[in-house]
Chains A and B, each alone.
Chain A
Amino acid sequence: MLQFLHNQELRTERDLDPNMTVLNYLRTIRNKTGTKEGCASGDCGACTVVLAEIDSSGLKLKYSSINSCLTFVSVLHGKQLITVEDLQEEQTLHTTQQAMASCHGSQCGFCTPGFVMSLFALQKNQSTYNKDKTTEALSGNLCRCTGYRPIYQAAEESYSQKTTDQFDRLEEKTLEQLKAIPPISKLGIHSKQHYSFSPSTIEELAECYLNYPDAHLLAGGTDLALEVTQFHRKLPTLIYLGNVTDMKKVSVGNTHIEIGSACPISDCYNVLTTEYPDFGDLLHRFASLQIRNQGTLGGNIANASPIGDSPPLLIALGATLQLRQGDKRRSIPIEQYFLDYKKTVRQSSEFIETVSIPKRSTNIFKAYKVSKRLDDDISAVCLGINLTIKDNQIFDARAAFGGMAAIPKRAENCEQALIGQTFDESTFELACKALEKDFTPLSDFRASKEYRLLVGQNLLRKYYLETHYQLTHKLENAYSLTRVTAHV
């Protein structure tokens, strides 16, 4: 049984298919057609809705924009679902809606409900207008008509008109209502053929996975849901991780950052960007905010995509994975996790519990993502590179690439060409040469093999220049000389 608030109304749903997306639930079961399907793949944002849930303090609501087309209904339990129809109060439009209308932010109108919901979530999470935050909030909403300029204006206008809305006024009541919803049974929900289990603890998860080794683990679902919406496969047994709160935790120790594998990317952002600003910069360009609000760090590793954005960075940082199967635990360096295209060392009923990332010491870590479009695109090439340089000597080097092989992979020849050498241009030229031995990339619609290799080499050159500017010229804003993404 699934219980959640749809706006202020408590919904109890007993017969939903666990393979049903929130979008289809809204449009076909509830006949709420304000939320649109533009792509059913989480790339256009027309289906954006907002989920409110009790935050970690237990005193406030946390609002997140998500792609309803990639979200299975199990996610709704214990949360408040807010759609475009819910924002207006009697006859008065919400300030975000008023601003979109009065600033001419809507032309054909099909993307508009999604933009409105992203702006609504932004307004809830950000107290004053900020252009960067607006860009971030809207990076997953495509508009083909306006050219976006009036939407920026609408965002700004919605702040100037901002008032206490019904969601603010009802926050305490909503919190009470949400708290009154009992935790979902670990049996979760099921239809005739499909099951979605909902463990609440890591132990329950481990046991459930032992019992159902063929189950699919559902974390954010931003990749897994494509199986249903794009490849039209059924997922008979799901184990939903979103209620395993212990696996969503982030902790910072003396030497390591520990991130629970079910922690959404958005929730890892602060700790990672504090420690490694380049990691944070890259996460800004990791899919879209809607995806980052759902997608997890563990999921990004577990699905073993050769073009996942976080693995090359984590490999370069020397991260380790804690794997668990029943009561058995083992730790492995993350690079050993990937065997071949979409093949990993993960055994039956085994799951990633924690990602452990060494904290910064004297190493100089940088990350690069090259894609056709700057935001909300998949890498053609991604590089995480991490060097320890003392007295102009390279003591240690770890460089890992995405998009260059069937798995995210260290460039071992390249690393060897760097280790023990003087930190200078000629060393990096040799490293570039060595890269040719490390990889034989493929051509596809994202990039040709020639481009991938050349960009891979040029990113090494860029690392050298940026580090050189920083070390030799003590330039603090070196990126403004080297990265177009520094210009916002």
Chain B
Amino acid sequence: MSKTPTEKLTQAELEANFSQSITTGVGRSIKHESAEKQVSGEAQYIDDKLEFPNQLHVYARTSDKAHARILSIDTSPCYQFSGVRLVISAKDVPGDLDIGAVLAGDPLLADGVVEYYGQPVIAIAATSHEIAREAAAAAIIEYEELEAILDIEDALEKKHFVLESHQHKQGDSKKALATAPHRIQGKLHIGGQEHFYLETQIASVMPTEDNGMIVYSSTQNPTEIQKLVASVLAVPMHKVVVDMRRMGGGFGGKETQAATPACLCAVIAHLTKQPTKMRLPRVEDMMMTGKRHPFLVTYDIGYDNNGRLHGVDIQLAGNCGFSPDLSGSIVDRAMFHADNAYFLEDATITGHRCKTNTASNTAYRGFGGPQGMVPIEEIMDTIARNLDKDPLEVRQINYYDTKTRNTTPYHQKIEQDILPEITDHLIESSQYFTRRQEIIQFNKTSPILKKGLAMTPVKFGISFTATFLNQAGALIHIYTDGSIHLNHGGTEMGQGLNTKVAQIVAETFQVDCDRIHITATNTEKVPNTSPTAASSGTDLNGKAAQNAALTIKQRLIEFAATHYSANKDEIEFQNSHVRIGAHYCSFEELIQLAYFNQISLSSTGYYKTPKIFYDRDAAKGHPFYYYAYGMACCEVLVDSLTGEYKMLRTDILHDVGASLNPAIDIGQIEGGFVQGMGWLTTEELIWNDKGRLMTNSPASYKIPAIADTPLDFRVNLVESRKNPEETVYHSKAVGEPPFMLGIAAWCAIKDAVASIADYKIQPTIDAPATPEKVLFGIQNIKQQLNAYTEK
């Protein structure tokens, strides 16, 4: 054991060090742990790893029919290509063919029938990606086409569902609607969304002894990849190791959809005993994998003269694609957010899960929540137009309070309600009312360009609604030099989870982050993990890591108390130093001493979320530990001759509790807003009448580019608002909630269009509001206006 320099320090010097603070603990805006590696090109993604000399490249030949029976598959032509090692179809999978995440329905390779255009039918392994692709094209697959249902309206009408419908009920909406002073009905289509993670789906697999596999997968859910690889191979889970260092973006798209490449690689590695890799080219990624669910929403709403709701009946139909995947929970979450921030009182919320012959739609940031919220925001705007009120006023009058108007349609009580306060602050900081007047004036004198302004809230429930998923584990080792090795069950996809968890452990031990090293998420280190999803990454894994750290810290305290004959409450950790009564030592000195005295310096940590429960049959309970709040104010400029628009300004005030890392939190808010705005504006998915996705590359599918961001973009965190719940350092989850701030951009576009009819008619513009939809919305409102003036 080498001597550390701090051992030479005097007690006075140690005391001086002790009295300083660490600089990288909780609440500090430290940069992403991989930032320097990312900017220099050193950060490795799976495709950057050195390849094994005998590695095979896997390529899937996919269906070019939306729904068809497979009559025959002839793979013999594939073997004419030099370099082809193996071609497999469904019958070659040794174990369970189904890789459905929660519910069955997702065959790894089509088994007798194809159910969407883009579904993998056979997989080819060859010495290069090019050879595998060429060989794949040579296979002869004969189909007998079956009737395909491509349209959600069609599916809904035929009750063609992947799962049963479900309902939340509070009070008597029928009665309330019958007696409402005003009543409106409406219908709204909400588009889906391609994740467009910059790194496409990828896995590489190395066979090991005892029929084992090491799987490198770009996945948000290593445990599930482990489970599915084991199941397709018919081996126990302990044979499979999944390792995940970082993803090049996930956004929900790698929660279940990472399984296909991983399992195909594993099956072929198992059959050939060679390492394998499968990376999806962009177009194939977009055609093969599921997306955000498009929704069809119908509503019947009553309201009074003040704009307050008086009976609500909302039907939410999600387009699930061909299989259930996670659609049960996703449509549930849409239903849980049909109220957004508003007390619905007498409400019936119904969710349908429509089956269509398209890729199976899946998790995407917000997990159905955004699709649930859009309709109620549309309703708020419509009420405002009909009553000639400012939409913000209608929103405010419908807000929850914590006294009487405080139960959701699923009977959870609203306990913390900071939205009125957030609203007041944002009204002031954005100068909402002054700008509202300026915009009204501008629109009166501007014949072509119209400005719109909208301010919309977000209340988002935090916790997995499948209650058992709300658990996490972590593993900490402290080595004898005082360096700390940290592992947890969460995955790093850019959101800064590893950085935050390191800060939490740093804070707990009062050491700086440079002492802590987080390595790849690995199923051998922390088992049975939940997906990094539902914004829960830090809440769950941060707390588990904190618990692991506290266990070791407690051992150290007890040891030091005995060793130095001090009281436990006289032992303090600060700035990589420890005070034991009047004695000071460095952290590493204490660690060494503990080691020599046979104290265990390794611990797991575990956490499960308290308080939550939910009875789905009764549709009642407390599914969310707490809510995260936020509000956005958007100003947009719309060209009434073309429907084009430009975001002029966005002000956001968002609640993250006590921030663990303000810079990372602001990054999530800005990125979430822009992604949400993209979903509701330029990101349009279009399929042709054969069920082929036509917008299948960035040439045709347009996510926001730099010029689409608001010219003036101001984001602030709600100050000094700790989460009242016992979350990790009283922080709040931040991954998904800000996504729904993007709704303000959509409402602002419609506000600009509404100005054409003096804000008395709510324009009909479905989401996404592409320039085309905006222009037709304008045409429509002009026609209504003409009809109105002629009357």
Residues on A close to B: CB < 8 A? 31-41, 43-44, 46, 83-85, 87-88, 93, 96-98, 100-102, 104, 106-113, 116, 134-135, 138-152, 230, 232, 370-378, 380, 444-448, 450-451, 454-455, 458-459, 461-462, 465, 481-485, 487-488
Evaluate contact between A147 and B711: CB separation under 8 angstroms.
Answer: no
Q: List 6 A-B contacts (CB under 8 A).
A: A38-B698, A100-B39, A147-B671, A459-B641, A481-B449, A487-B711
Q: Which residue of B lies closest to A450 (CB)?
A: B776
Main secondary structure of the interface of B (DSSP, over half): loop
Evaluate contact between A484 and B646: CB separation under 8 angstroms.
Answer: yes
B448 within 8 A of A: yes
**Cα separation A227 to B45 with both chains bound (whole Å):** 27
Residues on B close to A: CB < 8 A? 29, 31-32, 34-45, 47-48, 50, 130, 133-134, 195-200, 246-251, 281-283, 446-449, 493-496, 637-639, 641-646, 648, 663-664, 666-667, 670-675, 682, 684, 686, 694-695, 697-700, 702-709, 711, 713, 715, 770-772, 775-776, 779
Chain B residue contacts of A111, Cβ below 8 A: 198, 248
Evaluate contact between B644 and A374: CB separation under 8 angstroms.
Answer: yes
Evaluate contact between A465 and B448: CB separation under 8 angstroms.
Answer: yes
**Cα separation A142 to B282 with both chains bound (whole Å):** 14
Supposing A36-B248, A373-B702, A482-B449 touch, asked if A144 and B196 sit within 8 A by C-beta, the answer is yes
Evaluate contact between A116 and B642: CB separation under 8 angstroms.
Answer: no
**Cα separation A93 to B35 with both chains bound (whole Å):** 11
Evaluate contact between A144 and B449: CB separation under 8 angstroms.
Answer: no
- B32 interface neighbour in A104, A149, A445, A482, Cβ under 8 Å: A104
Chain A residue contacts of B44, Cβ below 8 A: 33
Chain B residue contacts of A109, Cβ below 8 A: 32, 34-35, 37-39, 43, 246, 248, 494
- With A33-B41, A38-B200 known, 12 other A-B pairs at CB within 8 A are A39-B282, A93-B40, A113-B39, A143-B706, A144-B197, A145-B671, A146-B674, A151-B706, A372-B771, A375-B707, A380-B772, A455-B642
Q: Which residue of A lies closest to B715 (CB)?
A: A149
Chain B residue contacts of A487, Cβ below 8 A: 637, 646, 648, 711
- B646 interface neighbour in A93, A462, A485, Cβ under 8 Å: A485
Chain B residue contacts of A98, Cβ below 8 A: 39
Evaluate contact between B448 and A462: CB separation under 8 angstroms.
Answer: yes
Evaluate contact between B41 and A481: CB separation under 8 angstroms.
Answer: no
- B709 interface neighbour in A36, A97, A148, Cβ under 8 Å: A148
Q: Which residue of A lies closest to B50 (CB)?
A: A31
CB proximity of A134 to chain B, nearest CB, Å: 8
Chain B residue contacts of A445, Cβ below 8 A: 684, 686, 694-695, 700
Supposing A142-B698, A445-B686 touch, asked if A108 and B197 sit within 8 A by C-beta, the answer is yes
B40, B247, B684, B704 interface centre (most CB from chain A within 10 Å): B40
- A146 interface neighbour in B283, B667, B711, Cβ under 8 Å: B667
Evaluate contact between B496 and A107: CB separation under 8 angstroms.
Answer: yes
Chain B residue contacts of A444, Cβ below 8 A: 694
- A43 interface neighbour in B494, B698, B715, Cβ under 8 Å: B698
Chain B residue contacts of A93, Cβ below 8 A: 36, 39-40
Chain A residue contacts of B675, Cβ below 8 A: 144, 147
Q: Which residue of A lies closest to B197 (CB)?
A: A144
**Cα separation A441 to B726 with both chains bound (whole Å):** 61
Supposing A101-B31, A104-B31, A147-B674 touch, asked if A110 and B199 sit within 8 A by C-beta, the answer is yes
Chain A residue contacts of B36, Cβ below 8 A: 93, 97, 101
**Cα separation A36 to B48 with both chains bound (whole Å):** 9
Supposing A139-B707, A484-B637 touch, asked if A84 and B40 sit within 8 A by C-beta, the answer is yes
**Cα separation A484 to B670 with both chains bound (whole Å):** 23
Closest 6 pairs (CB-CB, A-B):
A34-B41, A108-B494, A110-B248, A109-B38, A147-B674, A43-B698
Evaluate contact between B446 and A461: CB separation under 8 angstroms.
Answer: no
Evaluate contact between B47 and A33: CB separation under 8 angstroms.
Answer: yes
Chain A residue contacts of B776, Cβ below 8 A: 450-451
- A377 interface neighbour in B47, B702, B715, Cβ under 8 Å: B702
- B41 interface neighbour in A35, A101, A147, A151, Cβ under 8 Å: A35
Q: Which residue of A lies closest to B770 (CB)?
A: A372
Evaluate contact between A148 and B697: CB separation under 8 angstroms.
Answer: no
Q: Which residue of A lies closest to B773 (CB)?
A: A451
Q: Which residue of B lies closest to A39 (CB)?
A: B282
CB proximity of B469 to chain A, nearest CB, Å: 23
Evaluate contact between B40 and A108: CB separation under 8 angstroms.
Answer: no
Evaluate contact between A144 and B251: CB separation under 8 angstroms.
Answer: yes
Chain A residue contacts of B43, Cβ below 8 A: 109
Evaluate contact between A34 and B40: CB separation under 8 angstroms.
Answer: yes
Chain A residue contacts of B637, Cβ below 8 A: 484, 487
CB proximity of B533 to chain A, nearest CB, Å: 16
CB proximity of A232 to chain B, nearest CB, Å: 7
**Cα separation A440 to B35 with both chains bound (whole Å):** 52
**Cα separation A352 to B40 with both chains bound (whole Å):** 42
**Cα separation A144 to B673 with both chains bound (whole Å):** 11
Evaluate contact between B249 and A141: CB separation under 8 angstroms.
Answer: no
Q: Which residue of B lies closest to A100 (CB)?
A: B39
Supposing A108-B247, A109-B246, A458-B642 touch, asked if A40 and B706 sit within 8 A by C-beta, the answer is no
Chain A residue contacts of B35, Cβ below 8 A: 100-102, 104, 106, 109
Evaluate contact between A451 and B772: CB separation under 8 angstroms.
Answer: yes
CB proximity of B151 to chain A, nearest CB, Å: 16
**Cα separation A83 to B41 with both chains bound (whole Å):** 9
Supposing A93-B40, A148-B674, A375-B706 touch, asked if A108 and B771 sit within 8 A by C-beta, the answer is no
Evaluate contact between A110 and B772: CB separation under 8 angstroms.
Answer: no
Evaluate contact between A454 and B775: CB separation under 8 angstroms.
Answer: yes
B42, B197, B494, B638 interface centre (most CB from chain A within 10 Å): B494
**Cα separation A459 to B641 with both chains bound (whole Å):** 7
**Cα separation A141 to B449 with both chains bound (whole Å):** 29
Supposing A109-B246, A109-B248 touch, asked if A372 and B684 sit within 8 A by C-beta, the answer is yes
CB proximity of B717 to chain A, nearest CB, Å: 14
A32, A46, A108, A135 interface centre (most CB from chain B within 10 Å): A108
Supposing A36-B248, A104-B31 touch, asked if A370 and B711 sit within 8 A by C-beta, the answer is no
Q: Which residue of A lies closest to B199 (CB)?
A: A110
Evaluate contact between A375 and B705: CB separation under 8 angstroms.
Answer: yes
Evaluate contact between A41 and B248: CB separation under 8 angstroms.
Answer: no
Chain B residue contacts of A88, Cβ below 8 A: 40
**Cα separation A141 to B294 with both chains bound (whole Å):** 27
B247, B638, B670 interface centre (most CB from chain A within 10 Å): B670
Evaluate contact between A144 and B249: CB separation under 8 angstroms.
Answer: yes
Evaluate contact between B709 and A149: CB separation under 8 angstroms.
Answer: yes
Evaluate contact between B40 and A87: CB separation under 8 angstroms.
Answer: yes
Supposing A455-B642, A484-B646 touch, asked if A116 and B198 sit within 8 A by C-beta, the answer is no
CB proximity of B212 to chain A, nearest CB, Å: 27
CB proximity of A398 to chain B, nearest CB, Å: 21
Evaluate contact between B709 and A147: CB separation under 8 angstroms.
Answer: yes
Chain B residue contacts of A141, Cβ below 8 A: 706
Evaluate contact between A106 and B38: CB separation under 8 angstroms.
Answer: yes
**Cα separation A103 to B288 with both chains bound (whole Å):** 36
Chain A residue contacts of B641, Cβ below 8 A: 455, 458-459, 461-462, 482
**Cα separation A150 to B248 with both chains bound (whole Å):** 18
- A41 interface neighbour in B40, B699, B704, Cβ under 8 Å: B699
Evaluate contact between B282 and A40: CB separation under 8 angstroms.
Answer: yes
Chain A residue contacts of B249, Cβ below 8 A: 108, 110, 144-145
Q: Which residue of B lies closest to A458 (CB)?
A: B641
Evaluate contact between A97 and B32: CB separation under 8 angstroms.
Answer: no
Chain A residue contacts of B247, Cβ below 8 A: 108
**Cα separation A437 to B386 with both chains bound (whole Å):** 41
Evaluate contact between A38 and B198: CB separation under 8 angstroms.
Answer: yes
- B708 interface neighbour in A107, A373, A447, Cβ under 8 Å: A373
Supposing A34-B40, A101-B39 touch, asked if A107 and B494 sit within 8 A by C-beta, the answer is yes
**Cα separation A372 to B644 with both chains bound (whole Å):** 8
CB proximity of A152 to chain B, nearest CB, Å: 8
- B682 interface neighbour in A107, A373, A462, Cβ under 8 Å: A373
Chain B residue contacts of A150, Cβ below 8 A: 667, 670
Q: Which residue of B lies closest to A454 (CB)?
A: B775
Evaluate contact between A148 and B642: CB separation under 8 angstroms.
Answer: no
Chain A residue contacts of B200, Cβ below 8 A: 38
